[in-house]
Structure formats: C-alpha cells, structure tokens
Amino acid sequence: MHRRACPRGLYLPLVLILPLLVVLPPTLGAETASVDWPQFRGRHRDGVSPETGLLHAWPAEGPRELWRRPIGEGYSSVAAAGGRLYTMYAATDGDRQVEVAAAFDAATGDELWRTVVGPKIETEFGNGPRSTPAVDGDLLFVLGSHGDFAALATADGAKKWSLSLPATFQAQRPFWGYATSALVDGGLVIVESGGHQARCYAALDKSTGDTRWTAVSAPAGYNSLLPATIDGHRQLVYVAGPTIGAFDLAGRELWTYPTTNTETHAMPLFVPPDQVFVSGVGGEGATLLKVHPDGGAASVEPAWSNPSMRNHFSASLYYEGTVYGFDNATLKAISAATGEVAWSRRGLGRGSLIAADGHLIVLSDRCKLLLAEATPDAWRERGAVQALDDKCWTPPALAGGRLYLRNHTEMVCYDLKG
C-alpha cells in the first residue's frame, strides 16, 4: 500500500480505452445525497442526473469556472459523493510509472490523498487507467488497467483489501487494459474479470474481497454492467463480445441475445418499462430488445434494429422517449420507439454527453463543452465554451450543480447553477 497526502498546489510531472425503472444499488441510497454522482454514468449508470435549478442558457463566455488543476494521464471519469471527487490517473512514483486513485475536495480541487493501485498501461490510443471508481459509503472500489482491484477507505485511501483479477481468476487482460467500472449491489461488488474457463463476471464480498460467485462464459471486454428491474425482477444487463444478456443477483443467467456487432464498448440503456437498448460499431448498429420476464424465466425479442446509432465507446442516454448519443462522429437524437432519426449534429467528433434538468451537456472529443435542449424537435444550442485542450474521451460528471471534466493533463470544475 502506498499513500501520500498532497497539499494544495503541489504537482509532480506525470507521464475507451455504459412503477418500473433502473434502480439504485441499495447501499448507495443512505450514504449519498440525490445530487451525488457516485459511480460511472451517475447514480443509475444511465448518464441522467435528477438535478434541477441549473442554468438553461450560458453567457457568451460559458458557465463560471470554479477551479482548474493539473492531473495525469487516464480516461477514468469522476465519481462525486460527500463533497469529494474520486478518479484515477497515471503518475510517477519514485522510479515507477504507476496508476493511482485519488480524492479531491469538490469545492477547491485540492488533492486530499492518492493511493497507488498498480502499474501504468501504455497504448497507442492513450496511457493510464480507464476504469471509473465507485463510491459506497466509506469504501471506494478501484480497478487498474492490469487488473489490480482494490477497496479503499474514502477517508484516507488506505487499502482494505486488494487482489489481482488475472491471478485470482486465471484471467487474461483485455488488449487495451481493464476498462470496466465496478457495480456495488447490496453486500456485493461485481466486476468484469474475464476469468478461468472464461467466466466473465465475478461477484465479491465488498467487505473482504472473497468471491461469492462467477457468471457468464465470455472473455473480458470494455463494457460495464447496467442494473435494471423489469416486472419486479432485478437483473444485471451485460454486453460480452457479440452477446447481450442479463443475470440475476445470484449469477444465474436470465436471457441472452446474439448481435452482429463486431465491437460493442458502450454501455446498454434501460428503456422503461421493459426494454433494453444496445449499440455497437459494426453489424446491425443499434437494437432495442423487449424483455418478457415470464415469471423469472425471461426471454427477449427485438423491437427494432438499424444502423441509425453506432456508439463507438461513449454510451447513449435515454430521456423522455428519445435516445441521444454519438453515431460514430455524429451526435443524434433518435426515437426510442422506432429508431428513426429526429436530428443530427456534426462537428463534435466522437464525444460524450449527460442529461440534466431538461438539457443535454455535451463534450466533444476536442473538449468543446455545449449546452442544448433535450428535445427531439431540433438541435437547440444554449451555450458553448472551450473547456479543455487536446483530447477529451472521458464523459462529464455532475454533482451539486458543479460539472467536472478532465483530459490527460487537467481537471476543471464549472458552476452550472450560476
């Protein structure tokens, strides 16, 4: 274990790759306020925030910047809970190049602690960690690119337990490194391990790290689990290779559906009350599946399938009957009912987006930040600012009216309440 407190201003030079509703993991409810963003893609892992009272238009210079601080390489997004931010980045530790998890003061951006998780990954598409931490009460779950998985104390970053996914599950690291973001559900933390006999997912006791069960025969990829409850049956929706499916909280597979997509890296979406949207780069592109619970012995059938939305690595989001997302390098709004395109907006590259208070908050892959109305009627822009430089492949996070963005060199905070 290695921890280091970081006073304000200290910076050391630091050297892809988503009635009946999606429900929150029970243990997150009491410990985090409704305005927190405690895991990848927010409280419900759907990219939609319940916050209201945000600015519905930005001034010409953009929203007010609250702080900006240096940060190391990595694609890890930001988790926010209890007035703190958590993310991962690459750093130099003595003569080692490592990946660290770190906590920051949400109000000031001051780094409070950092803990070495594992060695740094270097690839042609960018270096550093890909996984986003998950906050659960006083525990933080973090995953390094080489499969080092740990539970840390949110107070000071102390390791409560840790293990190597490749060593524990006889797993092979995905080519671009482990990128999945762990899901906490009750007393379990569930992570994509890609383990022995290709058992893809492992459920661990969140207090000890002991294995409770494994599920799904498939190698590890770059996706993250989506929790959903359909007709009273809670399930965890996954994408593994060309297959989308779901298993229950005991690891029992509920249903599967084969797709022709060659790459599916973006998280699936839940479309109430009983449908799942999945999108990939090749093959059929986007598919909407209707789930028939059948008393727990579920089956699925496609409602529609077409190439109108080919998510590359950033997941789409569902908002009031419409799916918004990046069809490769084109931002689109499509009907969840039919898949028909409502509008398209080019020039933002392979960006990312979240939604809050009736608006889309869009980040282009060149770090331009935009505000637009979340409506299928037309693209209605309500503000823009060049938030960062270079490349932004990490989606935004929103908590308490503050928006958090990062790239390979900086993290910035904007006030969206004005």
Give dist(CA 14, CA 60) in Å, integer: 33
What is the tally of helices (H) and strands (E) in the chain? 2, 34
**Non-local CB neighbours of 227 within 8 Å, separated by 6+ positions:** 22, 23, 25, 44, 45, 183, 185, 234, 235, 236, 237
6-44 b/e (C-beta count within 10 Å ≥ 16 → b): beeeeeeebebbbeeebebbebbeebbeebbbbbbbbbb
At 24 the pLDDT is: 37
One digit per residue, the tens of pLDDT, for the chain of length 418 reads 444 444 333 333 333 333 333 333 333 433 345 689 999 999 999 999 999 999 999 999 999 999 999 999 999 999 999 999 999 999 999 999 999 999 999 999 999 999 999 999 999 989 999 999 999 999 999 999 999 999 999 999 999 999 999 999 998 899 999 999 999 999 999 999 987 666 799 999 999 999 999 999 888 889 999 999 998 889 999 998 888 999 999 999 999 999 888 788 899 999 999 999 999 988 889 999 999 987 667 899 999 999 999 999 899 999 999 999 999 999 999 999 999 999 999 999 999 999 999 999 999 999 999 999 999 999 999 999 999 999 999 999 999 999 999 999 999 999 999 8
State the greatest distance between any 2 C-alpha atoms of the chain, in Å, as a whole number. Answer: 58
Q: What are phi and psi of 159, to 5 degrees?
A: -80, 125
Other Cβ atoms less than 10 A from the Cβ of 343: the count is 16
At 34 the pLDDT is: 63
288-315 b/e (C-beta count within 10 Å ≥ 16 → b): bbebebeeeebebeebbbeebbbbbbbb
Do residues 77 and 394 touch, judged by C-beta distance below 8 A?
Answer: yes
Provide the phi-psi class of 47: left if phi over 0, else alpha when psi is between -120 and 50, else beta. left
Domains of the chain and any CATH numbers: 3-415 (2.130.10.10)
Structure tokens at 110: 């001051």
CA distances from 164 to 157, 392, 406 (A): 18, 29, 27
Give dist(CA 403, CA 47) in Å, integer: 13
**Which H helix or E strand runs over 166?**
helix 165-169
What sign does the CA torsion over 105, 108, 113, 115 have? Answer: positive
